[in-house]
Amino acid sequence: MTEIDEHGGVATASSADAPTQQLPAVAPDQDPAAGAGSGVAAAGRSGRLVGLQTQDLSAWFGDHKVLERVSLSMAPGEVTALIGPSGCGKSTYLRILNRMHEMVKSAQLAGRVLLDGDDIYAPGRRPADVRARVGMVFQRPNPFPAMSIYDNVVSGLKLAGIKAGRARREELVETSLTQAGLWAEVRNRLRSPGGALSGGQQQRLCIARSLAVEPDVLLMDEPCSALDPTSTRRVEETIADLRGRLTIVIVTHNMQQAARVSQNCAFFLATHDTPGRIVEAGPTRQLFEDPRDERTSDYVNGRFG
């Protein structure tokens, strides 16, 4: 078992059944599909598309095991949708991918999370560095309401410890808002409060804030669940535009949305006495049109969940 203390020290011990990492309480090589997105070069800080992979990933909150040996590859430059009933571990899995799981004091995990082949939980890896490369958009829009639209976008740079001069900040604001599909709507009121925007605009502002640090991966936890149909469509259009620029992983309970926005899909399932695990994963079309497991067919066709 590997235990990581709050100073980054590492002590190892042997335990066949224990989690490999006790987390501190702190606030694969694959080519992208041809023709993905708009053909624009990768926008991430690596300057190229990178993949994300988990190997035999298990997770606990205290003694409660919530995920069981989840292995999944998320293809570079593509959208992977995580689907499944509430309580099956999808959001926990998503938070593990950028080290937010460890913000819960009792959190533990076993297994590996590989970003471009490197383990993000390796000793000495700083959570802040990981989160700069793996951004997160939450279920409900969370801009800083009293802060201007401009300052909301550049706040991502400050949180990530990235220094940029005025010209570079202005370039990033325009680029990020454009990529988030919001620039045309706010370009003449960048100094207006972010909290004055509509719910859908606020969500796209949060996407722009994440994009400003030029992540390699963008995680989205039910980003449209609090939005009206028009705002949902615009966020989905943003996802489609970002495809091919960076790798996206989205949790959604909307099967139509999963079918619309993703190229790959993973179906998670848990029962009252077993932790969440992947029942089936593969191309989205296969899971929706010709699934291998009857439980997958039942779920995507609305027969349970």
In terms of Cα–Cα distance, which of 173, 169, 175 is closest to 189? 173
pLDDT score recorded for residue 34: 35
- Residue 91 has a CB neighbour count (10 Å cut-off) of 19
Residues of the chain with pLDDT under 70: 1-43, 45-46, 305
Amino acid present at 276:
G
pLDDT score recorded for residue 39: 39
Domain 18-24+42-300 CATH superfamily: P-loop containing nucleotide triphosphate hydrolases (3.40.50.300)
Alpha-carbon Rg for the chain, nearest whole angstrom, is 19
In the three-class reduction of DSSP (H, G, I as helix; E, B as strand; rest coil), residue 246 is classed as: strand
- What CA–CA distance (Å, rounded) separates 178 from 190? 13
pLDDT single digits (tens) 44-92? 766 789 999 999 999 999 999 999 999 999 999 999 999 999 999 999 9
* 28 CA to centre of own chain: 17
pTM of the entire predicted model: 0.84
As a dihedral over the C-alpha atoms of residue 189, residue 192, residue 198, residue 204, rounded to 10 degrees, the angle is: 70
Q: Where are the domains of the chain?
A: 18-24+42-300
